[in-house]
Amino acid sequence: MTNPDYIITDELQQAVDAALTLERPLLVKGEPGTGKTQLAIEIAQRLDAPLFQWHVKSTTRAHQGLYEYDAVSRLRDSQLGDERVKDISNYILHGVLWDAFTCDQCAVVLIDEIDKADIEFPNDLLQELDRMSFNVYETRETITARQRPLVIITSNNEKELPDAFLRRCFFHYIAFPDKNTMEKIVEAHYPDIKKDLLKSAMDVFFDLREVPGLKKKPSTSELLDWLKLLIADDLPAGTLASDELRTVLPRMHGALLKNEQDVHLFERLIFLHKQRQR
């Protein structure tokens, strides 16, 4: 049950293996569009393990991943004289980690974009991730993981993570795919793509990433979108000859350059280049 669209590099494979063997959380960073989130989904599929996803927002608190005590419902029920009100555990809402800990199988937990939350967030999870257990204050019970889940944490570098947290994790930086890997990725998505079109499109794409001063470098997903457009138009590869990059905007550049300033910058570069040629 593997998704052939997802190409995993040897390095990443080893990192995941190590995290599995030593039961440490794996912190994954990388440029946007390098498949950080997809990794956890992929691992869960390959291991045939249940996946618990926790998408972190700026307002997310650490205890929400463990459990929440729904006091408002209980208050309402008490007014209505509901029988359930006598048992406080009826009002404990399980969080992602609770579900993962009590899962019968070894689970995969994804904590996505941990840097979005408050800076204290990772510190608040230290004990829970270390010991894989936590206390429920309201019912005075302790939830301990039956099997230590594999925890994948992604970060976009928006905040620095605390040292104490980093010490407990393995860290892997997903480098931007090189040409070979990228070709594999594209072929996995569009198996029927013409070889010459792919080659010249790749040249344009990687040249474009080299252009200095771009606000947003095009990433994998943008390349895939762009190729989709190119395939749909059934363009001959000649229209993309890579030396043309410096003389005209590539076709359908809207899929690659998503920022007005970037398009302007690019046009300026083309203009300068033309002047120099004269």
Residue selected from 3, 131, 175, 195 as contacting another protein according to rule CB under 8 A: 175
- Nearest-angstrom CA–CA distance, 38 and 110: 10
Find out whether 117 and 56 touch, Cβ atoms under 8 Å: yes
- Nearest-angstrom CA–CA distance, 231 and 95: 44
- Nearest-angstrom CA–CA distance, 160 and 147: 30
Tokens linked to 134: 């936590």
- Binding of residue 172 to another protein (CB under 8 A): yes
- In the complex, what is the shortest distance from the CB of residue 171 to another protein, in angstroms, rounded to a whole number? 4
Cβ contacts of residue 202 below 8 Å, gap of 6+? 179, 182, 183, 186
- Binding of residue 14 to another protein (CB under 8 A): yes
Q: Give the Å distances, CA to CA, from 40 to 35, 145, 194.
A: 9, 19, 32
One symbol per residue from 202 to 231: x for binding another protein (CB under 8 A), - otherwise; what is it?
A: -------------x----------------
Dihedrals phi, psi of 139, to nearest 5 degrees:
-105, 0
Q: Looking at beta carbons only, is 72 or 232 nearer to another protein? A: 72
- In the complex, what is the shortest distance from the CB of residue 14 to another protein, in angstroms, rounded to a whole number? 5
- Binding of residue 15 to another protein (CB under 8 A): yes
Residue selected from 11, 82, 87, 267 as contacting another protein according to rule CB under 8 A: 11
Residue selected from 2, 4, 21, 180 as contacting another protein according to rule CB under 8 A: 21
Q: Which residues bind another protein (CB under 8 A)?
A: 11, 14-15, 17-18, 21-22, 24, 27, 29, 71-72, 75, 119, 157-161, 163, 166-173, 175, 215
